[in-house]
Amino acid sequence: MSDDHLHDDELTRPLEGAQAASTAEGGTSPAVGRDEWVARHGERAVSRAGALGVLEQRLRTVPWFAWLALLVAAVALLPVGFESGYVRRVAFDTVVYMLLALGLNIVVGWGGLFDLGYIAFYGIGAYAYAMLSSSQFDVHLPSIVSIPLIVVLGAVVGLLVGLPSRRLSGDYLAIVTLFFFQLFIVLSTNGDDVFGKNITGGSNGIGGVEAAVDPLSFFGWELPQINSDGSFNVAYLYVAIAVFAIVFVALRFVNLSRTGRAWRSLREDPLAAEMMGMPVNWLKLMAFSFGAAVAALTGTIFASLNAGVFPQTFQFPLLITAYAMVILGGAGSMAGVAFGAIIVNVLLEVLREPGDARYIFYVAVVAGLFAIFRLSVKLAVVLGGTLVLGFAVHVVVGAISGRAVEGATNGGGWLADAAGAWVVIPTSLGAWAPISYVALVVVVLWITTLHGWWRIAVLVPTLYLAAFVWENVMLAKPEPTRYILLGAILVTLMVARPEGLLGEKRVEIV
């Protein structure tokens, strides 16, 4: 999906008010909240030669709703191709994450507000659904009633949390929202004993046999969470993608409205926006409120499928995951953040299984090298050098100590066998695990300061060291590895490509 079309018609769209905009072809109509030089970087970039350039040109002309329809169709047809409940369930989770990313994009991408309490709204939506439609308090509202109620509740709580944002900016806002998140965590974890009353179920959450959460129900028509054979009910996938499509279209209209433009000008320069007479405080509150409402809605879908809510879900790692999705896809671009959500969730899912995670690593390394060196002598030198070095090291180390190469690889498959013959895999690593990991981090940081052939000379052993650490240390522990990668993605993107994959480049004008 590309958001470029969206920007095109924004550029040529006549502005309300006194400004008469020229809609002429390539005209220089003024647009609010963006730098003209930056805004038109696309026009200069299209001169890319070759088939890729033509393809890019063609893709630009595909309208946004075609992309959305394509996505919806792909998700809707997914159950036809995949019988496995696991794949369907992952697809459902991905759509939930896409919704989550859309909501966070309103606050961070459009409003430019650093909201670290976002997951709390998601949690509030989920908990509210679990309280309004479960045996916890014996309230069983039908979804058609409870979901709108919860969306409004989310918006109101968002408004309340956003209130401090009237006085606070930047870092202070981040910390107040982060504390709100902590407040939510403390309350949800300890809420089983509020003056002797059980409200949130504490660390056991709400759910299970005695407080099962109702499935979604519309006009007396219930969607059971699991099929009779205990597998994932694919109807939830359809509900999720339908909700995604509706939210996407609605937010697109919001983005193109006066409010959407005002948000972007707020993001670019709050002071200038205020000088222009924009109701800055109100805009911030609205951004918070919209984001919170989307998060709460997402929470209801999540809670209804899982038939329960547990405080362990709504923790800090989920916040980082949501940020990684938005930043990776490109903050500010709806298509981008949805794309980012797909990538991040699929990546995290694949990393669970060492056999699959291995493919991700080697493909990513080779693809990364291609992106850096293109097809050149240097690429051949690096790839060939690394391969030769690997076999040489394997032979030498094996000759010195047999045990050093006799360890078993994590997971199976032909690539595991190949890696076992190439990478040194000792039977036990002991203190070498932290040493090699720290060495890898240090060398990778060091490489970023090198240039030319020096960089290549260091790169070859580094790649081998990376493979060593990956095979021996990281594959064995998927849980920290997943989150290490998310953290690294955030830092790397911020330093190297802050606009993400599909975002729009921004230039700070001083």
Partner 1 sequence: MDEFIQQTINGLTLGSVYALIALGYSLVYGVLKLLNFAHGDVYMVGAFIGFGMIEWLGFRGDAGAWEPIVSTWFVLAIVLLVAMAGTAGLGVAIERFAYRPLRNAPRIAPLISALGVSFFIAYSMQLMFGAQQRDYNAFGIDNGKLFLEGFNIGNVRVPLLRVIIIASAFVLMIVLWLLVTRTRTGKAMRATSFDREAAAMMGIDIDRVIVFTFVLGSALAGAAGVMFALRAPASVTMGFIAGLKGFTAAVIGGIGSIPGAMGGGLILGLAEAYTQGYVSSKWSDLFVFVILIGFMLFRPQGLFGKADINKV
Q: Look-up: residue for tokens 């990668």? A: 485
Rounded to a whole number of angstroms, the minimum distance from the CB of residue 479 to partner 1 is 8
Q: Toward partner 1, which CB reaches closer, 261 or 267?
A: 267
Nearer to partner 1, 304 or 481 (CB): 481
Measuring CA to CA, which residue among 139, 302, 137, 140 is closest to residue 222? 140
Q: Which residues bind partner 1 (CB under 8 A)?
A: 108, 112, 114, 116, 164, 167-168, 170-172, 174-176, 178-180, 182-183, 186-187, 190, 193, 271, 316-317, 320, 323, 327, 433-434, 437-438, 441, 445, 448, 473-474, 477, 479-481, 483-484, 486-491, 494-495, 498, 506, 508, 510
Q: How many CA atoms lie within 13 A of 178 on its CB side?
A: 10
Distance from C-alpha of 23 to C-alpha of 29, rounded to nearest angstrom: 7
Helices (H), 374-476: 377-400, 414-422, 432-447, 452-469
Count of residues making up the chain:
510
> CB-wise, 24 or 445, nearer to partner 1?
445
Q: How far is the CB of 183 from partner 1 (least distance, A)?
A: 5
User: Minimal distance in Å, beta carbon 266 to partner 1?
Assistant: 12
Measured between alpha carbons, how far apart are the two ends of the chain, in Å? 33
H-only helix segments in 63-117: 64-81, 85-104
For the four alpha carbons of 79, 81, 83 and 86, in that order, the dihedral sign comes to negative
Give CA–CA dist 243/298, Å, rounded. Answer: 9
Whole-number minimum distance, CB 154 to partner 1, in Å? 20
CA dist 11 and 24 (Å) reads 11
Q: Let me know if 122 is exposed, middle or buried by CB neighbors in 10 A (0-12, 13-18, 19+).
A: buried
Residue type, 79: P
Shortest distance (Å) from residue 412 CB to partner 1: 23
Distance CA 247, CA 291 (A): 11
- Of the pair 396, 507, the CB lying nearest partner 1 is at 507
Shortest Cβ distance from residue 355 to partner 1 (Å)?
A: 19
| Nearest to partner 1 of 144, 488 (CB atom) | 488
Non-local CB neighbours of 479 within 8 Å, separated by 6+ positions: none
- Angle among Cα 394, 397, 403 to the nearest 5 degrees reads 105
Report d(CA 6, CA 189) in Å as an integer: 43
DSSP 8-class letter at 406: -
Shortest separation between residue 415's beta carbon and partner 1, angstroms: 22
Closer CB to partner 1, residue 246 or residue 271? Answer: 271
Query: Residue 285 CA to chain centroid, in angstroms?
Result: 24
Q: Which two tokens stand for residue 497?
A: 């490509």
Shorter beta-carbon distance to partner 1: residue 52 or 445: 445
Q: How far is the CB of 1 from partner 1 (least distance, A)?
A: 23
How many other C-beta atoms lie within 10 A of the C-beta of residue 178?
Answer: 17
Nearer to partner 1, 283 or 489 (CB): 489
Nearest by Cα to 314 from 116, 456, 120: 120
When the beta carbons of 74 and 494 are compared against partner 1, the nearer one is 494
Phi, psi of 139 (to 5 degrees): -105, 130
**Is the CB of 72 or the CB of 443 nearer to partner 1?**
443
Instruction: Please list, in sequence order, all residues whose beta carbon lies within 8 angstroms of the beta carbon of residue 510, skipping any fewer than 6 positions away.
Output: none
Q: C-beta of 61: minimal distance to partner 1 in Å?
A: 31
Least distance between partner 1 and beta carbon 41 (Å): 17
User: Least CB distance from residue 316 to partner 1, whole Å?
Assistant: 7
By beta-carbon proximity to partner 1, the closer residue of 298 and 481 is 481
In angstroms, the CA 9 to CA 176 distance is 37
The C-alpha atoms of residue 500 and residue 489 are separated, in whole angstroms, by 10
CB of 112 to partner 1, least distance (A): 6
Tokens standing for 435? Answer: 């040493």
Of 411 and 413, the one with the shorter C-beta distance to partner 1 is: 411
